Structure 1
């Protein structure tokens, strides 16, 4: 058997009939999401508030309840801070202080009322109190 490369050999395309080509194109179009769908998904992901590992740890260790109602209030508070041009904000929801990076849409830490004795919050540029 000859294992040498053969140079100057034409590469012949694989010929498919039109029906096969059309069915492949239709499958690709139906399987791949449109640009509009991808963009909408990315925008929705960006709007969702995320919690850092540190914040999750604090919420668990301090047994801070985070219900849908509180989460909605927190999201509203972050939106209010964003609309005022805040970058790092203290958002108070039901006697729980959340430090939020507004730019990254991320909760950095959470402090409940029992743990707030003599606490000083630094590196924030705004505070939002939600009722």
Structure 2
């Protein structure tokens, strides 16, 4: 047998069991992906409603992955930090709030990335033009 064809056959998924169960497993995997997507959409909507600031896709992923608190109080403090940065003429500040760091694009009013206390050690922030501590 041709080695290339043999390798292709080895890579093919083999399903065993009842075909109905296999389809249900596929459907449940697809549903969980949809639930994650819907959670992200709900989180984005909530952030947009409660704040003038928006979060980039990357920042939203970091918020979810690092379990960062984005309560209404935190968003209010973050908006205050953005306002202070804007007053000083900063365009891309690092905003430090308690144990969380936010890199914000002030002209677009958008959080670019989020780093929490567990990920802060050893972090290097580049392309920032100032720091605001709130």
TM-score normalised by structure 2 residue count: 0.61
Report the counterpart of residue 124 of structure 1 in structure 2: 128
Task: Give the structure 2 partner of residue 113 of structure 1.
Answer: 117
Larger relative contact order (CA 8 Å, sep ≥ 6): 1
Q: Per-residue deviation at 1:106?
A: 0.2
Cα RMSD, aligned residues only: 1.4
In structure 2, which of residues 78, 89, 93 is the aligned counterpart of residue 89 of structure 1?
A: 93
Tell me the SS of whatever aligns to 2:79.
Answer: helix
The structure where helix makes up a greater share of residues is 2
Moved over 6 A (4+): none
| Structure 1 residue matching 2:112: 3-state secondary structure | strand
CA distance in 1, matches of 2:96, 2:90: 15
Q: Which ranges of structure 1 fall in alignment gaps of 5 or more residues? A: 1-44
TM-score, scaled relative to structure 1? 0.63
- Partner of residue 99, structure 1: 103
Structure number with larger C-alpha Rg: 1
Count residues with an aligned counterpart. Answer: 85
Q: Is 1:78 the equivalent of 2:106?
A: no
SS in 2 for 1:91: strand
